[in-house]
């Protein structure tokens, strides 16, 4: 049997045939690093009110179109309440919050609807398309409590958190492709181990922390909208105390969650409260809840 100049299954330089050298493995990773840096630097925007730099590669027009499409789909599959006391309440609160956010809302055309559901939830999509689920009303307890949740959701839309999350996911996907190429000639078990570790790292080291940051940012911005709209911002920590009681024992560890813990949120609201109260006093000298 002939083994050749470099031995059996060996190629030039003594490397195993069909296996990349470590230098070759670096090529897709270096290319990703270069393009990833360009992608990140060239798609920076600034979040209103907080001044945080964010990664967004989608235009406002594209984002609003996606928001409208999603809104129409959700409403078509839901039981929308056309009129009544709850609808009037939600729309009154919504209009006040929209007015408070008018200087930073990208020209959104606001719309507020109520959906019959036991969910204690609400959402606001790019473009200002907002809905409140009836299950939220008893948890909110009062106008200011409901305004806290609606202000939070409105803040998500204004801060473009959805578009930012999509850009982060795109960056992670590009990194995953580069890593897949780099380990492409390794045995299956090694590939699975490496890609699994990268996936866990991306999830817990990048995506979840950013998601929690988005929630905290929306809490802060929403609290300022609540104060500007002349609702009572001190209802925010009270609301999350009630939410904490509702989900007692059900909330995962904070590092595994897309949201900060209820305790963290309450503490942050307390830290921001002096600013919110001062803002309310400035904007609402003659207006009461």
Contacts of 270 (CB under 8 A, 6+ apart): 237
Give CA–CA dist 239/232, Å, rounded.
12
Partner residues linked to 258 by β-bridges: none
Helix axes 22-41, 161-182, angle to 10 degrees: 170
Residue 50 burial (CB < 10 Å; 0-12/13-18/19+)? middle
**DSSP annotation string for 207-249:** IHHHHHHHHHHHHHHHHHHHHHTT--TTHHHHHHHHHHHHTTT
**DSSP annotation string for 105-145:** STT---EEEEE--S---EEEETTTEEEEETTHHHHH-SHHH
Helix axes 161-182, 188-202, angle to 10 degrees: 160
Element (DSSP H or E) covering residue 81: strand 80-81
Candidates 63, 111, 153, 215; catalytic one:
153
Q: Are 62 and 117 in contact (CB under 8 A)?
A: no
Active site (annotated) includes residue 153: yes
Q: What is the DSSP letter of 258?
A: S
Residue 239 burial (CB < 10 Å; 0-12/13-18/19+)? buried
Q: Which residues are catalytic?
A: 153
């Amino acid at each position: 049997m002939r083994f050749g100049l470099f031995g059996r299954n060996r190629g030039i330089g003594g490397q195993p045939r069909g296996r990349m050298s470590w230098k070759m493995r670096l090529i897709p990773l270096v290319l990703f690093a270069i393009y990833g840096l360009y992608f990140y630097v060239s798609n920076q925007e600034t979040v209103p009110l907080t001044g945080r730099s964010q990664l967004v590669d989608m235009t406002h027009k594209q984002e609003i179109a996606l928001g409208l499409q999603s809104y129409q789909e959700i409403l078509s599959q839901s039981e929308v309440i056309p009129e009544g006391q709850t609808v009037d309440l939600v729309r009154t609160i919504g209009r006040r919050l929209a007015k408070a956010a008018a200087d930073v809302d990208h020209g959104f055309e606001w719309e507020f609807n109520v959906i019959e559901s036991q969910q204690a939830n609400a959402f606001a999509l790019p473009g200002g398309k907002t809905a409140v689920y009836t299950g939220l009303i008893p948890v909110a307890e009062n106008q200011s409590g409901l305004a806290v949740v609606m202000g939070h959701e409105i803040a998500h839309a204004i801060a473009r958190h959805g578009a930012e999350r999509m850009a982060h996911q795109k960056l992670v996907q590009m990194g995953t492709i580069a890593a897949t190429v780099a380990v492409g000639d390794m045995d299956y078990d090694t590939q699975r181990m490496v890609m699994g570790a990268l996936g866990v790292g991306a999830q817990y080291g990048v995506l979840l922390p950013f998601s929690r940051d988005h929630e905290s940012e929306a809490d802060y911005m929403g609290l300022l909208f609540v104060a500007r709209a002349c609702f009572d911002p001190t209802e925010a920590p009270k609301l999350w105390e009630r939410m904490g009681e509702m989900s007692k024992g059900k909330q995962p560890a904070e590092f595994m969650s897309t949201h900060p813990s209820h305790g963290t949120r309450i503490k942050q609201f307390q830290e921001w409260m002096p600013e919110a109260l001062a803002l309310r006093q400035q904007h609402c000298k003659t207006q009461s809840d």
